[in-house]
Amino acid sequence: MHRHHHFFGDRHERHGRGRWGHWAEHARDHHGRHRGGRFMEHGDLRFVVLSLIAEQPRHGYELIKELEERTGGAYRPSPGVIYPLLSLLEDEGFIRPTEADGGRKLFEITAEGRAALEQNKAGVDAIFGRMDEASQASRHSGHRVGRAMANLGMALGQRMRRPITDEQIDRLIAMIDDTAAAIEKL
């Protein structure tokens, strides 16, 4: 039994899910970071997903979109993370499929899932707090970046309406390429 999987105890081992920690850690390392650090630690996504399903029955795609929206685009789990997690939560008896929605399997929380969620309420609330912070930061910085991009687009549009030489076009392209390279190095 892995002690860091206390939410599920040893039950995931009995169901042959001992490697769950591997893909959860992989997802966190590649998808769970935001400016200022991580808002989700190893295994936290299961609490977040369980909480979202407790709010209302959801299917995988809705969960992906909801997480992206709640973090202001700072985090978007892949289907390769969400769907195995849903299977695990179902195997553990924390969620169950309910009426299909356009061919997609909806999940609802079970009494056992609500009990597990209640036991971990403080941690879940902290995660959602960090997600809100990431969302606010992302929206603020996204607005500023969007404004700068709009300014660039307007400047380019205005410049391209006037006669321009091949040399000026080459300089313009070089400036844009240099700026893109500088942004990538940030």
Residue 50's pLDDT is what?
Answer: 96
177 Cβ contact partners less than 8 Å away, ≥ 6 residues apart: none
Q: What's the rounded Cα separation, in Å, for the pair 82 and 62?
A: 10
For the segment 80-105, the average pLDDT, to the nearest whole number, is 89
70 Cβ contact partners less than 8 Å away, ≥ 6 residues apart: 128, 131, 132, 135
Looking at the domain covering 3-139, what would its CATH class be? mainly alpha
- Name the percent of the chain lying above pLDDT 70: 71
For the segment 138-154, the average pLDDT, to the nearest whole number, is 72
Maximum average pLDDT range among 58-72, 85-99, 130-144:
85-99
Q: What's the rounded Cα separation, in Å, for the pair 171 and 160?
A: 13
Q: How confident is the model at residue 8 (pLDDT cuts 50, 70, 90)?
A: very low
Question: Helices 111-119 and 44-55, interaxial angle, to 10°?
Answer: 130
- Residue 75 is classified by DSSP as -
For the segment 76-99, the average pLDDT, to the nearest whole number, is 92
Q: Is residue 182 scored above 70 in pLDDT? A: yes
Q: What's the rounded Cα separation, in Å, for the pair 20 and 80?
A: 12
Maximum average pLDDT range among 14-18, 36-40, 98-102, 124-128:
124-128
For the segment 22-47, the average pLDDT, to the nearest whole number, is 51
Q: Is residue 36 scored above 70 in pLDDT? A: no
Q: What's the rounded Cα separation, in Å, for the pair 46 and 174?
A: 47
Q: Which residue has tokens 């709640």?
A: 70
53 Cβ contact partners less than 8 Å away, ≥ 6 residues apart: 63, 89, 95, 107, 108, 109, 113
Q: How confident is the model at residue 167 (pLDDT cuts 50, 70, 90)?
A: very high
Q: What's the rounded Cα separation, in Å, for the pair 132 and 78?
A: 20
